[in-house]
Structure 1
Amino acid sequence: MRWNSIVFKIGATIFIILISILLPLIYTIDQLFARFYISEAHHQIDEIAAKYSTVLSNQEDIHALKTVANITKTEMCIIDQNGRIIFTSSEKLFRKDTQIDSELLKNINSESNVKSEYHSSINNSDYLVSTKPLNLSAIADGRLLVFTNEKKIKDSVHHVELLLLVSMLGALCIALGITYIASKKLASPLLQMEKVTRDVAQGKYFSKVNISASDEMGSLALAINDLGQELERYRNRQKEFFANVSHDLRTPISYIKGYTQVLHDRLYKDEKEKDSYLSIILKEANQMNFLINDLFELSKIEGGQVDLQLKWINIYELVENCLTKAALKAKQKGIDLHKELDHNIPFIYTDGGRLEQIIMNLLENAIRFNNVNGHVKLIGWAEKNKVHFLIEDTGMGIPKEDLPYIFERFYKADKSRSNRIGSTGLGLSIVKHLVLLLEGEINVKSRLNKGTTFRISLPFNIRA
């Protein structure tokens, strides 16, 4: 496993979090146990001191304390008011008729009930101490002292600490295993996505991420798969476009070259045939010009190089101008071209030239892809601070599966007919970009062999 791999990073993160939780937890438990044992030991010797300080009444009872000390595993002694030791259960701590530690005596004299700690210089051990006053006439202001060795407490605490340490190590081992499995599981989809994105970058668009989760990871996988499909579709459209452009350029160039050669060699019979050849050359030159203009226009729009010329536009005049321009082509094909405009459409603040370009493009498409003696209708009305246009035709229609893609560059729904009538597949892409530039919306409905309807909605007042 590489140190900079995602598996290691995820695993290390989880492990550090676990350590950050476990160490303070173990320390807290250890401190709680230590305090608990010390508190219990204090409580135990305090009870012993309290119990036997009240029952002692004579010298015989005092000597019985040795037996009690052995049973309770404690050390006991009795001192007088000056700190002289009158009785001791053993000489591990004190010797009879000696003075107790001055610091301990100071604590004893300052309070009636004392819980303290004491270090014995005789056996070099630490003890917990509890002391209670005695009611013995033979010993004025006497006190009973009960000691318990801290070693027993520390041994118990160390035993608990050992158990905690073993438990922590076991928990860490389990955590390591779980962390490794979890990090592999979390990283696996990411590694798979990395591989697929690299495949897609190399043109292997068929490569897919096989993740069916319904969480964010699944959404990301779906997005990568969709990206691959979109890139593949774009590449195919681009290939088709360049093939079409090459064909659309090569064909007129071939015609122009061929008929120019005929004219140059004077291979025509009469002036009528000569004019026919010149008409063909002019037609093919116009087709080349149309293609080049479309390419240049789309390049400018997509590059953000279009400056809008905003002013107040009379929709009635603009629509009438568009219909006048399209009338000749419609008449040549026997197509009925008419309009239906509401009388409440106000002037709108927009780029009139670009709006006319949009409507003309859609009208020309409606005529170009229509049937002979068909119908084209332009409808307009105002509603909710927007002006709306419908361009309806009775042409061949667009297949349902092609509708989502008709505004893409290079896309042609009916490739054979588009090539035959001279379409480059750029017109609708230009229209879509221009509508968005004018802060509008465009959508389309179509029925195969019934016709197509484009709807455009533009605001009354475009933001400058």
Structure 2
Amino acid sequence: MKWNSIVFKWGATIFILLISVLLPLIFTIDRLFYKSYLSEAHYQINQLAAQYSDSLSRLEDIETLQTAASLTKTEICIIDREGRIIFTSNDKLFHQGTLIERELLEAAYSKKDVQIEYHNPTNNHNYFVSGKPLYLSTKEDAGLLVFSDAEHIKKSVHDIELLLLVSMLGALCLALGFTYIASKKLASPLLQMEKVTRDVAKGKFYKKVNISSNDEVGSLASAINDLGQELERYRNRQTEFFANVSHDLRTPISYIKGYIQVIQDKLYKDEKEKDLYLSIVLDEANQLNALITDLFELSKIEGGQFDLHFNWINIHDLIENCLIKVALKAKESEIILQKELDDNIPFIYTDGVRLEQIMMNLLENAIRYNRLNGHVKVKGWVGKKKVHLLIEDTGVGIPEEDLPYIFERFYKVDKSRSNRIGSTGLGLSIVKHLVLRLEGEIKVKSTLNKGTTFNIALPFNIRVGFKGN
């Protein structure tokens, strides 16, 4: 066994803690002493009772018991066969002619040494009692009871117990002192590990444990440090994953709820408009289902294992569908939606669900951060074998110093604005990532209090027979 091993250290600690054996040991000694002292007290009373019995048998004069009781600080009673008091040395204990309890009667006429404790209800005192039969006139016709004050005896026992208690407390304090010093020295690295572990649990993964030994404690400290690093990487992946999920699922659910409420309140003009709203609800439900299906795919983004589903997409239809979905929210905010798409925009081979997700996110932000009676304009054109989609708003804008960071996850341009509007800081990060996965580019320009413009450029493959509207 190594001298610096945790086994040896804790073994030494346990050895020191063995001093706590003093507690049961002293308790045992106290109980043994208590029983021994009481046994001795009962023995002395039995001896007195035997002496009184022998003296009375010879002298046949019970009046001498008054003097004997006074000298020995006891109380003496003589009873007949029926338990009636013939003689008492103390009227406060029993009155002459009184019948005593059956327990005392049996003790007086028992031929064995009987040791009992008796509580007298007359004077409310406790007594140790010993009984002996008396042979007066060569006939067993009386019983002798000797009462000794139990309170006096128990007080003596209590004084000794108090002394033992003081000794016990002294030993306990000494043991606690040694235990504290030893445990503090041995537990110091463990306490540091506990503190670092709690910090790690709060998300402070940069906290490290100082490795001061090469034993099991040092190995544990190294493992905690490694765990912190792994948790940090895992936390980052999980945070991004769940953040994306919450953001992506909330949008279709809000639209489904909104249009269902419109239909329920019968706010549509005619059945055609009602059918349109129902189709939007159905589309959002389908998109919600697709998002749920893609949950695990989103978690693989960082690992480059995110799968995309490419199809030939009509940009005109896609933009029109997005504008219809945000029309209600724009109307509520008194925002004017505009569309300027060139007719020569071809079909592009891309992931239509992800492209719609990008456009919806940008359109919602444009509406959310706009002003009353403002406008949101969507433009589209072809240039350099790429389809350019531009989303322009007349909103609050983004400060120049914040533009380099707006695509970072959870980055919020202005705290007060975020609190007012309720942004999560995830949307633009998702947009940036999806655009890159679609092999595109995204740029942003913004002027504070004038508006923001996002420009997305996506590659396309022209296919004969596919044209824009």
Both proteins in one fold, TM over 0.5:
no
- TM value normalised by structure 2: 0.36
